[in-house]
Amino acid sequence: MDKKKKKQQKTNDELAAEYAAKLAEHDEQQKVKGRIFDPMKLVARADKITTVDHPVLGELKFGELQFEDAFEINEAKTDLEKTEISAWLMMRKAYPDLPRDFLKRMPLIEGAALIDFLTKQPAFLSARKRSRRGSKRTQKRKTSA
């Protein structure tokens, strides 16, 4: 009976090895697929509403910034205004009736938690991702003379 168990165990080990090899092959195929540029998938992703469970805010819904949003963000004069506009653009995708000045009207703790969360999202255009040539005192970018 021990021989039968060992034979069965060997078969299970062989099956597990085969499965692991198939899984590795599948993962490699998925990586290759991920490298293929597909604009329709990007458009679908940009229209998607993401929902997360935030420890302070609860269920939070937002959308990813899109290329056209950059033009509206660029109209802001200070980094603070850029952050407010970016947060509003991301949030209004999930909450269409959200007023533009919603951050100014939110309680401080929740507003800070929201900004902290949103600025850590990959699509957020934050000051950390740009060069540091602007003036800290005026919060304005340096302009060429």
Q: Is residue 78 part of a domain?
A: yes
What is the domain extent for residue 97? 48-129
What length is written for the chain? 145
pLDDT per residue as tens, the chain (145 positions) = 555 555 555 677 777 777 677 778 877 777 776 667 788 888 888 889 999 999 989 999 999 898 899 899 999 999 889 989 999 999 999 999 999 999 999 999 999 999 999 888 876 655 444 445 555 555 566 666 5
Q: Is residue 22 part of a domain?
A: no
- Residue matched to tokens 């900004």: 115
pLDDT at residue 23 in the model: 76
pLDDT at residue 104 in the model: 92
Q: Is residue 118 part of a domain?
A: yes
pLDDT at residue 93 in the model: 92
pLDDT at residue 122 in the model: 74
Tell me how many domains the chain contains.
Answer: 1
pLDDT at residue 92 in the model: 94
Q: Is residue 52 part of a domain?
A: yes
pLDDT at residue 60 in the model: 92
Q: Is residue 28 part of a domain?
A: no
Q: Is residue 2 part of a domain?
A: no
Q: Is residue 40 part of a domain?
A: no
Q: Is residue 33 part of a domain?
A: no
The strand pairing partners of 53, in sequence order, are 59
